[in-house]
A and B are shown apart, each in its own frame.
Chain A
Amino acid sequence: MIVLREVTKRFGPSVALDGVSLEVSPGATHVLLGSSGSGKSTVLRIILGLAVPDSGTATVDGVPIDARSRDRLVGRMGYVVQDGGLYPHLTARDNVALAADAPRWPRARVDARIAALAGMAGLDAATLGRYPRELSGGQRQRVSLMRALLLDPPILLLDEPLGALDPIVRAELQDQLGQLFAALAKTVVLVTHDIREAARLGHTITLMTAGRVVQTGTFADLVERPATSFVRQFLTAQTLDAPAPASR
């Protein structure tokens, strides 16, 4: 269980988070929804220990995330960023294997694990031998996800993982991610600005704006019982803007 209580974070004069509280249940997918600048990525960075709250507390399974605990805690998290965050000087396989560097896994164990994950991610050995710039955007995100999953961490943190992809690849990957999260029973925090992605993947959705939480609930809660007019506006603006695919 990941819990934030009244977390405030400033970067210079600007307030990134202003009294944010949220709870992420084990095994559930929690979506942080909002437009850019709403503070949702900062929440991820605080959970990762990359940013320290100015006030309020953040805990993982009751352990406060601080300078002493963060190194241990981050070992239980997998992290995927928008364009994959792959190292351009390493092949896809070496990028994935780099996650096993810190725990010093033996070579055979790494190979076996990569083979298993490759099957799940739908990548063949030849693709894994390529360098990131030789891969498509979708392939890069799959590699990045493999890297995040290599050590089988209980928590997955994804920051706009599909944000840089074109709509068709994106829809396809959304479905696959949904199946994967369900199958693996990971605690997932996913940041997105895309309502359909939130609707497809999120058990719980927290809508944020200007560093504050506007409403937390299921997609149905947000649609049927919007807490403020902003919630209604945010939902309708995007839905009108880009109608959901026919399959939904």
Chain B
Amino acid sequence: MRPRAARAAVVAALVSAAGLALPPPPGAAPEGVIRVGSKSFTENYILAEVVAQVVERVGEARVERRVGLGGTGLTQRALESGAIDVYPEYTGTLARVILKDPALDTEDELRARLERRGLAMSASLGFANTYALAVREEQAQRLGLRTIDDLARHPELTAAFTSGFLEREDGWPGLRSRYGIRLARVEVMEHALAYRAVASGQVDLMDVFSTDGQLERLRLRLLEDDRHFFPDYAAVLLARREMTTRYPRTWARLRQVLEGRLDASRMARLNAMADLDGRPVAEVAAAFLAGGEPAPGGGGRARALLAELGGLTRDHLVLVLISVGAAVLLGIPMGVMAARYRRAGQAELSLIAMLQTIPALALLMFMIPLFGIGKGPALVALSLYALLPVARNTYAGLTAIDPTLLEIAWVLRLGRARRLLRVELPLASIAIMAGVKTALVTTVGTATLAAFIGGGGYGTLIVRGLALDDTATILAGAAPAALMALAFHALFELLDRVVIPRGLRT
């Protein structure tokens, strides 16, 4: 094969492999399915689950949950591409991040703008999840703190703020200049830590979201934003217009059940059930729909986790084996090409190496406009990621072969294919197997990121654990992933004995 033809073949192989992993084209959701998405934090999980359960009860369409997507950009693209049909969003985010027009003030203005994008927005669900400042109730009473303005009289107070709040213009920098507040000390701290620090009196003030489950339990008081600095982050449902017209009964029922039905304290209690009591999200959502609190009973989450782990293990295995399998099928021929046509090969390997410099999470994100969300795009991204060790090691193994041995193959008049199969690949097998092993073990780890784009697997638990700030759940995802990596490593010690010819083993 001439170099140009070889390159064309490589490209064709890549494209067809990508095609194999392609999900049904975006927008062409199978009849009768509503895909419910969510971002990866507790409140969003709960609201999405409520939506999912309502869809199930109405029975107009089947429901598919694609929850725990990593961030606003992602849910937004998923929604616009049709990978999800509906998810819970906040008006402030819609105006600032999605429509990029902070001046949009009323729900009607927002709705009109979204309409043009083919999106439908519900009315407010009844609560706003805005930034707020919180102090201990006991201290607030002692110092007479009721509003943020009151802080100006107490420059001796200290604060622990999250890094996001410290940097955002709608966070601390803007707040400080609007209210003219000075504080004795401001520290950067994660939310979970800050709650502990405030509760134990180590610092006085922290930024919170107004529906955080902890507020009530820890007896914290929210300071009133009397100058209306914080933008309104009213919770709404955002859906594809297409979905609302195709399933009008479902949409009407969703609005009926949710619009104006959740005030901040009720939402905070639901969040607390999931965050602090460890109730599975499905249970919390069902409790809300039943109009009450869920029946008491501990251990719900541990049981739910165990039940889930089997399915997640299967998902994870599928992600890893298919993507590494594709990487092997593509990577070995690519390594062979690179070794045969050295110059084109260098370009090819540089290209694959460049793919590797893209952070795995970013690569996963890039897949969304192309392939939507879910397993398909995750598989494509993971395959691309696993390509380098396989192709690189194949190339290295082939180019390291003693040139005399290749000349002898020529003198023995072995054809190209025979030479490759009987001489070159066996001689390079140690290096190739090392590459495949590297690809497998790292993919087990990288595959946990697939959950951010709805790819499933152990990452589902890690993402959820991060959202719920629950170490046990994170570990429930991370530990099996580590075990799986070890298992693959051990398996390969055995596989080496099969694949690598005895004469080469040491």
Chain A residues with CB under 8 Å of chain B are: 48, 50, 71, 74-75, 77, 79, 81, 85, 87-91, 98-99, 101-102, 131-133, 147
Contact = CB atoms under 8 A, between A and B. Distances in A.
Contact of B504 (A88, A101, A102): A88
A79 B427 contact: no
B1 interface: no
Nearest to B408: A85
Contacts of B426: 87, 89
A89 B431 CA distance: 14
Instruction: In the A-B complex, list the 4 residue pairs whose CB atoms are closest, starting with the nearest.
Output: A131-B503, A89-B501, A102-B413, A89-B426
A87 B405 CA distance: 7
A88 B503 CA distance: 5
14 contacts: A48-B411, A50-B410, A71-B413, A74-B410, A81-B408, A85-B404, A85-B405, A87-B503, A89-B502, A89-B504, A102-B412, A102-B418, A132-B503, A133-B503
Given A88-B504, A98-B422, 20 more contacts: A50-B411, A71-B413, A74-B410, A74-B411, A74-B413, A77-B411, A79-B408, A85-B405, A87-B423, A87-B426, A87-B503, A88-B427, A89-B427, A89-B503, A90-B501, A101-B418, A101-B422, A102-B414, A102-B418, A131-B503
B415 interface: yes
B407 interface: yes
Contacts of A87: 405, 423, 426-427, 503
Contacts of B503: 87-91, 131-133
Contacts of A81: 404, 408
A101 B412 contact: yes
A147 B413 CA distance: 13
Contacts of A133: 503
B404 to A, nearest CB: 5
A50 B415 CA distance: 16
Contacts of A75: 413
Contacts of A99: 412
Contacts, number: 56
Nearest to A131: B503
Contacts of B429: 89
| Chain B: number of interface residues, binned into ranges | 20 to 34
Contacts of A89: 426-427, 429, 501-504
A158 B414 CA distance: 20
A61 B502 CA distance: 43
Contact of B502 (A74, A101, A131): A131
A90 B425 CA distance: 13
B424 to A, nearest CB: 10
A107 B501 CA distance: 22
A101 B410 contact: no
Interface in B227-260: none
Interface in B379-430: 404-405, 407-408, 410-415, 418, 422-423, 426-427, 429
Contacts of B414: 98, 101-102
B422 A79 contact: no
A87 B427 CA distance: 8
A89 B501 CA distance: 5
Nearest to A147: B412
Contacts of A132: 503
Contacts of B501: 88-90
A77 B502 CA distance: 30
Nearest to A100: B412
Contacts of B411: 48, 50, 74, 77, 79
Nearest to A133: B503
Nearest to A102: B413
A90 B422 CA distance: 9
A61 to B, nearest CB: 18
Contacts of B415: 102
Contacts of A91: 503
Interface string B4-33: 000000000000000000000000000000
Contacts of B407: 48, 50, 85
A86 to B, nearest CB: 9
A133 to B, nearest CB: 7
Contacts of B408: 79, 81, 85
Nearest to A71: B413
